[in-house]
A and B are shown apart, each in its own frame.
Chain A
Amino acid sequence: DTGVSQDPRHKITKRGQNVTFRCDPISEHNRLYWYRQTLGQGPEFLTYFQNEAQLEKSRLLSDRFSAERPKGSFSTLEIQRTEQGDSAMYLCASSPGAANTEAFFGQGTRLTVV
């Protein structure tokens, strides 16, 4: 197992376009998180899944953002009608799901909206 994998690593898109990112968690990890991080800031929580169920979604997340984890394995994060303010690093993490366990992060997808 090679850890959490995110694809693509970099994405440049024009304002108004839709983008989709993929995250493959560590096998058998029940919990999957999405975060957004801008320069000089900590990761900002977006949403998380317990298996295929989306349990929590940040109030800061607009309706343009949607995430899925259809079979409880990989996850996708879609941003519709991108805006320049969406430019950030999007991080995915997974954990076994039990209490008191660490999260394992992918390398992130860097989105630039021009």
Chain B
Amino acid sequence: SQQGEEDPQALSIQEGENATMNCSYKTSINNLQWYRQNSGRGLVHLILIRSNEREKHSGRLRVTLDTSKKSSSLLITASRAADTASYFCATDEYSNSGYALNFGKGTSLLVTP
């Protein structure tokens, strides 16, 4: 079953604008990760934030995590047309069998020139 829930489902912005995507989840997690997927391709890891971290940066990406609200956000600043893709959050949650990585349904981002 899918643990995360991204919001919005789709987002359309112009180049240079910022894009914000949100993710909510249900259970306790070890970490939360964001991935990107171009149409018809595999997923590419963007950033990982641990459960004891509140904010993390990587280039034009900024991720926040609020474990009390079980939510995370991904901010892409100064967006480019090449950022057009689907973005997924994934939670690394511990079960009796070890760690399992569960994905949400994703946010489809369109950046127009």
- Contact flag A48-B100 (CB < 8 Å), given A91-B42, A100-B31, A103-B45: yes
Interface size on B, residues (CB 8 A): 29
Contacts of B41 in A (CB 8 A): 107-108
The 8 Å CB contact of B43, one of A41, A43, A100, is A43
Shortest beta-carbon distance, B12 to chain A, in Å? 16
Shortest beta-carbon distance, A61 to chain B, in Å? 12
Bound together, the chains give a CA A58 to CA B31 distance in angstroms of 20
Contacts of B50 in A (CB 8 A): 100
- Would you call B30 and A56 a contact (CB within 8 A)? no
Bound together, the chains give a CA A107 to CA B2 distance in angstroms of 21
- Contact flag A55-B98 (CB < 8 Å), given A44-B2, A100-B92: yes
In the complex, whether B102 has a CB less than 8 A from a CB of chain A is: yes
Contacts of B30 in A (CB 8 A): 99-100
Residues in chain A within 8 A of chain B (CB atoms): 4, 31, 33, 35, 40-45, 48, 50, 55-56, 58-60, 89, 91, 93, 95, 99-108, 110
28 residue pairs of the A-B complex, CB under 8 angstroms, read A33-B101, A35-B103, A41-B105, A41-B106, A42-B103, A42-B105, A42-B106, A44-B103, A48-B100, A48-B101, A50-B98, A55-B97, A56-B95, A56-B98, A58-B1, A60-B1, A89-B40, A93-B43, A93-B101, A99-B31, A100-B92, A102-B33, A103-B43, A103-B45, A103-B90, A105-B35, A105-B43, A107-B41
